[in-house]
Amino acid sequence: MIPSSLIPAINTLAVAPIWLETLLVTTFAIHLLLMNIALGGTVLVACHSLSGGSKISRDLSGKLPTILALVINAGVPPLLFVKAIYAQFNYTSSVLMAVYWLVAVVALLVGYYGLYWHYYRYESMKDGGRKGLIFMVLCILLYVGFMLSNNMTLMLRPDHWLAYFDNPNGLVLNLNDTALMPRYLHFMVSALAIGGLFVAILGKRKSDQDYVATGFKWFVWATVVNIGVGLWFLMVLPREIMLIFMGKDMLATSLLGIGLVGTVALIYAGMKQKVVLSSVLTVIMVYVMVVMRHLLRDAYLAPYFKVEDIPVTGQYSPFYLFLISLVIGIISIIYMLKLMCKSGRS
């Protein structure tokens, strides 16, 4: 069977795709930054719990429920944009792995509740219970991230959809894709770095050198490890796709160059324990990586589909309404966070 015959018919878009792509990339980077803090923060709390807990892990555990709520909320806009632009690919991959995908939603609810429980019952729980709980939450977050990587790579590989005919029960994963593991690990290791950076930022706010030193230790080591994971990821990409980063596409090649130089700068800023510089560089780097990932997706889908081919109906009014709601939503969230900080609950 020809895999492209499995791709459902193309949808129409209300507005020119460039708008949706820009919003996809912008909102996804926000989701990713927050996800990194939530996941990296959970790893830090879990690791510190092994050595009997610490001021840092107690403090961090109080922030994780709010951050996870923000991760989930910030995941919704990119989800909508992915579904709008890549509908025929992403709905199909979600159906192929439906069981794992739906379990992720339930698991996330349990994990969210678990974080609240961990914080509010911290004192009353036994040490073993506390450790068990935070490691359970960590496994859940790792599971959700893995399922997202599976979905986001399975949607790019209609040739892997043929697995459905041997396994029609919603249990198809993209495990035979050599790019899956390095891609997933690249995200997970960056979470360790950004979780560490978050601790360093807390340290700077509190003028606590212990926080800053611990945070930067995680930040620097994880970034060093991620150079290896990132190169592994690049090397296992299908040759034609890898070449877009090796001169075939000027934008992709330049971004890779900026990414490599930026990584060295990140390590330098981390070693010098410069909180503001590291934070600014990290945000820039996350955007660079997110745009690279977007170009990668287009390169994977190029044999089947081009975003420019989607018919546009030109109905802009719902889009304007969305933009207004987005701005109001962001202002409201910032206002609520400010109130929370003022009340001393952050």
Interface contacts to ligand HEM, rule CB under 6 A: 24, 28, 31, 35, 38-39, 68, 71-72, 75-76, 78-79, 82, 108, 141, 144-145, 148-149, 152, 183, 187
Place of tokens 């129409």: 12
The least distance separating ligand HEM from the CB of residue 319, rounded to whole angstroms, comes to 18
- Closer Cβ to ligand HEM, 87 or 148, answer by number: 148
The least distance separating ligand HEM from the CB of residue 276, rounded to whole angstroms, comes to 26
Residue nearest to ligand HEM (CB): 75
Distance CA 25, CA 294 (A): 7
- Closer Cβ to ligand HEM, 25 or 47, answer by number: 25
Question: How many Cα atoms occupy the beta-carbon half-sphere of 281 within 13 Å?
Answer: 23
Backbone φ and ψ of 96, nearest 5°: -60, -35
Q: Which residues pair with 312 in a beta bridge?
A: 13
- Closer Cβ to ligand HEM, 24 or 192, answer by number: 24
The least distance separating ligand HEM from the CB of residue 191, rounded to whole angstroms, comes to 8
- Closer Cβ to ligand HEM, 275 or 296, answer by number: 296
The least distance separating ligand HEM from the CB of residue 198, rounded to whole angstroms, comes to 15
- Closer Cβ to ligand HEM, 135 or 268, answer by number: 135
The least distance separating ligand HEM from the CB of residue 265, rounded to whole angstroms, comes to 24
- Closer Cβ to ligand HEM, 148 or 258, answer by number: 148
The least distance separating ligand HEM from the CB of residue 143, rounded to whole angstroms, comes to 9
